[in-house]
Structure 1
Amino acid sequence: MTAYASPHPPETRPRSARRAQRRSEPAPAGILPSRRPMLAAVAAAALAPFLTLLVLVSTQWEPLLSLDRSLATALYERVHPDPQFAHALEIWTEMFGTWAMRIVSLLTALWLFVRREFSTAVWAGTAVFLANLFGLITKLGVDRARPEFADPITVGVGPSFPSGHSLMAATGMGILLFAALPLLRGVWRHVAWTITIGIALSTALSRPMLGVHWFSDIFAGVSLGVFTLAATMLLWTFLPPVARRWDRSSRSPR
């Protein structure tokens, strides 16, 4: 008995049929995490402390304000008598500060675009844009005054809550991390995570150590940065198939 042969084998089917099949396929995976429950849980876990601090700072809850003042005084008394340490902190905080991380984020998005990771490049640009937008809206809405000292170590500009340096250190280093992870294997992936967390947290801590932010400012900044990363990744998983069809990482090896 002779098997029936299709008049249009897969290789020679009409172009319209091949296009229809591609449209019916599920969205290919990219280089970002795609587990929606995990991303939603991370976003919620980061948003909760940010919103809590936002309410407490806005209502001027005295126990938090008192703790902030105590920590600010203790850090100032530690750093102010040591000009060399203070200068090193100033260098570090600007190396990984607001503008530096904005530039790193945009260059990372450009690098992803050149590598034909198109949807991931859009994610990176969206994340850095939203992080700055959320930070600016919160700063203007809360309008919290910065710490004041008779002999300041350095001077900060603008409202204090949340810390822009902390927000952008978390966001920028996160964007760089997830862009680089697919290129790393084994122990180097753990090294990349360690470096990312270390830089983000040390940059955040440099702000109250220099006397230009309250401790709650930096906690809120890091929380908002993590929320922005997780929330934009979650939105990325809902992109239609065509939006990720031409990402290099989405193509099957030939």
Structure 2
Amino acid sequence: MHLTNGTTRLTARNRSLLRDAALALGCAALFGLLATLVTGQWRPLVRFDQEWIGELHTYAREHRMWTASVQTLSDIGATVTMRTLLGIAAGWLWLIGARVLAGWVAAQALVGWGAQWALKLAFGRSRPSFPDPVSHVGGPAFPSGHAMASAITCAVLVGLLWYRVRRRGRTAACLVAAATVLTIGWTRIALGVHWPSDVLAGWLAAGIVLGTVTAVIQLWRPGALARDVRRVNWRTRPRVQRVVVSSGHSPRAAAPPEEFPGTPSGRPDETVR
């Protein structure tokens, strides 16, 4: 949407804030329901968890090469890997001057890490136990840290790419992100170190963190995230296109309105340097 005046811009900000709040509240409600079922030992959920874990463990025990491949995928998608990616993204954004956007990325990583351990310690759910485990992990199980960290990281990276690519690129990014999140979550179940409900809880907890952090920053610095997105688009645009825009020959061809909303010239606000 092309924002051309203060009223429209304010409406767009309110819509964005409502969307973020709805994400956080919706995921919180679902997480609360799932946590209630888990702590109450709801029999259909217990049976579902045990059947999935039992069948996958039997297969993993009988197919060691397959299990080693799954373990490798799980290690690649570890929480340290995911938070390192967010740290690199935050550092790069800080260096190019997108300080609020960098803070948003860093906050997602830090709040996600803190929320993960706070929830694990609060519920203290035991992990699946086998006499012949194929993988060993310590600590509480609920929610899955791998599932939570991968969902937060992939959502943030897709968000950073969203205004840099066109429709096909956005579709590809979403598909890759979804496949990554699903694969990492599935590996934790296949290795017998998490119940399926742990993984689902990790995804819901990620939604809470994503929506809450974004909404808080929107309230704290209204419009700052959008300005930083425009700054990133401008700073990373090819130099030839910058020269064309600066000379005034074809501003709209060089900077599509959807990439720089609210700036008639297609350039970032001059007051935000």
Instruction: Tell me the TM-score normalised to structure 2 length.
Output: 0.76
* Alpha-carbon distance in structure 1 between the residues aligned to 2:14 and 2:131: 48
1:239 is aligned to 220
CA displacement 1:208-237 (0-9 Å, x = unmatched): 110000010000001111221122122222
Q: How does 1:41-120 map to 2 (within 5 A)?
A: 41-120=22-101
- Contact in 2 for aligned 1:116/1:248 (Cα 8 Å): no
Q: Which runs of 5+ in 1 are unaligned?
A: 1-24
Q: Does 1:249 align with 2:225?
A: no
Q: Which has the larger radius of gyration?
A: 1
How far apart, CA to CA, are the structure 1 residues paired with 2:30 and 2:36?
10
Structure 1 245/134 Cα, relative in aligned 2: closer, same or farther at 3 Å? closer
Query: Which stretch has the larger CA shift, 68-77 or 192-201?
Result: 68-77
Distance of 2:149 and 2:222 partners within structure 1:
30
Paired with 2:46 and 2:226, the residues of 1 have a C-alpha distance of 51
Aligned-partner Cα distance in 2 for 1:246–1:42: 22
C-alpha change, 1:66 and 1:239, in structure 2 (3 Å) is same
Name the CA distance, whole Å, in 2 between partners of 1:50 and 1:72: 21
Once the two structures are superposed, residues 162-193 of structure 1 have per-residue CA deviations (whole angstroms, 9 ceiling, x without a partner) of 11000101011112221222221220111001
**Residue 197, structure 1, aligned to residue 183, structure 2:** no
Q: Alignment RMSD, CA only?
A: 2.6
- Aligned residue for 1:183, secondary structure, equals coil
- For 1:205 and 1:33, how far apart are their aligned partners in 2? 36
Q: Counterpart of 1:159 in structure 2: which amino acid?
A: P
Give unmatched runs, 5+ long, in structure 2.
1-5, 232-259, 269-273
Aligned CA distance change for structure 1 residues 128 and 151 (closer, same or farther; 3 Å): same
In structure 1, the residue matched to 2:211 is: 230
Matching residue's letter, 2:53: A
Distance 2:144 2:154 in 1: 16
Instruction: Report if the CA contact (8 A) 1:34-1:234 is conserved.
Output: no
User: Taking every aligned residue pair, what percent have the same amino acid on both sides?
Assistant: 25
CA contact (8 A) 2:218 2:225 kept: no
CA–CA distance in structure 1, aligned partners of residues 175 and 54 of structure 2 = 30
Shift of 1:199: 0.2
CA distance in 2, matches of 1:147, 1:33: 44
CA apart distance, 1:56: 2.0
Is residue 122 of structure 2 the alignment partner of residue 141 of structure 1?
Answer: yes
* Contact 2:30 2:204 (8 Å CA) reproduced: yes
Instruction: Kindly provide the amino acid, as one letter, of the partner of residue 215 in structure 2.
Output: L
Which piece of structure 1 moves more, 89-98 or 108-117? 108-117
Inter-partner Cα distance in structure 1 for 2:94 and 2:125: 38
Provide the secondary structure at the position in 2 that maps to 1:145. coil
* Alpha-carbon separation, structure 2, partners of 1:84 and 1:116: 47
**Paired letter, 2:126:** A
Give the 3-state SS of the residue equivalent to 1:238 in structure 2. helix
- The residue type paired with residue 145 of structure 1 is S
Shifted more, 117-126 versus 236-245: the winner is: 236-245
Structure possessing the higher relative contact order (Cα contacts under 8 Å, 6 or more residues apart): 1
The answer to whether the 8 Å contact 2:137/2:193 transfers is yes
Please give the TM-score of this superposition, normalised by the length of structure 1: 0.81
